[in-house]
Amino acid sequence: MTKAASEHDIVFNTASGFHTEGARALITGLGQRKKAIGKDICYFHTTGTSNIGDNPLTKAYYEPRILSDTDDLYTYLKGREAKDIYAQCTTDIASVDTGLKHGVKTYLIMSPTIYGIGTGLFNRTSLQIPGLIRSAIKRGKVQRTIWQGRNLLLRNG
């Protein structure tokens, strides 16, 4: 992964947001590219909003805070990760840290899951929720879900 990234000026990592070593490898490769050509290099990492989400039903983590666009999200995530380790957050922090170390412009894209009926011209329902509901009905129980790239993996647990 490092070698492949070292041959490009921009990398979009849309694979698992939970794979810390993969993100580091890509950014390290981009750092090598920057050193070789002396130009700005960019890394885009897709992640999710569960990093900043809360667990009000389970009370596993509850924080009465509302984030805004002006908050220092990096510092916030580092503090939150120190209290409650979460693999996706670990990867996001490592991506930013590795980008800073190698001088690679690093951007995190925190795409949320949208619930409900959409108003667009094409797909009007969530891609995730109907599949999860069909699976629960078919199996007679709710499954733990793991997102891997664009593939939804259902696991017992």
Residue-wise DSSP of 20-67? HHHHHHHHHHHHHHHHHH-S--EEEEEEEGGGS---TTT-SS------
User: In this predicted structure, what is the pLDDT of residue 66?
Assistant: 79
Q: Tens-of-pLDDT digits for all 157 residues of the chain?
A: 999 999 999 999 988 888 999 999 999 999 999 999 999 999 999 998 888 877 655 667 677 777 787 888 899 899 989 988 888 999 999 999 999 999 999 999 888 776 667 777 776 777 667 777 788 888 887 765 443 333 333 333 3
